Amino acid sequence: MIKTNEQMRKLLSEVAGRPPLHPELKALAAGGFTAKSGCQFLSALLQNSKSVTRKDFPDAVGLECFVNSVHIDDYDVTDPLLQAIVFVEEVLRAWKATGSDYILVAIISSEENNVVVKFHLKRDGQRWLAEDLDRYLDAILVAEISSKEPLNALF
């Protein structure tokens, strides 16, 4: 399932093509996932967050979004939105390979050239974003996938 707000739909209507994934982002996705404290983390990102614990956050989604957060413009300043889309698709492929029964939620938020991607597991009663994405000023795309679903392109 893919949801976007009006701002993201406008941005997506203006982009074309698919750049190759930046090698460092490819490595982040290829590193797979690590389960810890009832959460799922991109293994490479977890290595950078060793001092963070579950008790530092109100819920598991908050912890996952803190650790599993990538500022795409740190890797590609030319076209960070397209790079974010290609990165999310690569991470979702890695998630499917785990065979997990859990649903992974990927979030892309864009404010001008500041593009951030976050990942968390879908959990009852825990959300990173409000249901109504049009409440946000930033452009937002949310993709959810289980390992059992086919992976379609985000746009």
Q: Give me the percent of the chain exceeding a pLDDT of 70.
A: 95
Q: Show the tokens assigned to 84.
A: 């974010």
Tell me the domain boundaries of the chain: 2-146
pLDDT, position 130: 81
pLDDT, position 151: 64
H helix runs in 1-151, sequence order: 6-13, 23-30, 43-46, 60-67, 80-98
Inform me whether the pLDDT recorded for 155 exceeds 70.
no
Residue whose token pair is 């790079």: 83
* DSSP annotation of 56: G
Inform me whether the pLDDT recorded for 50 exceeds 80.
no
Q: Mind listing the pLDDT tens digit for each residue in 82-141? A: 999 999 999 999 999 888 889 999 999 999 879 999 999 999 887 888 889 999 999 999
Cα–Cα dist 6/46, whole Å: 33
Cα–Cα dist 124/114, whole Å: 30
Cα–Cα dist 109/129, whole Å: 11
Residue whose token pair is 């413009």: 73
Average pLDDT over residues 23-48: 94
Higher pLDDT residue, 68 or 56? 68
Q: Which of 15, 34, 14, 109 is nearest to 71 (CA)?
A: 109
pLDDT, position 27: 97
pLDDT band at residue 4 using 50, 70 and 90 as cut-offs: very high
Considering the chain, what is the average pLDDT of its residues? 90
Residue whose token pair is 């390992």: 147
pLDDT, position 69: 97
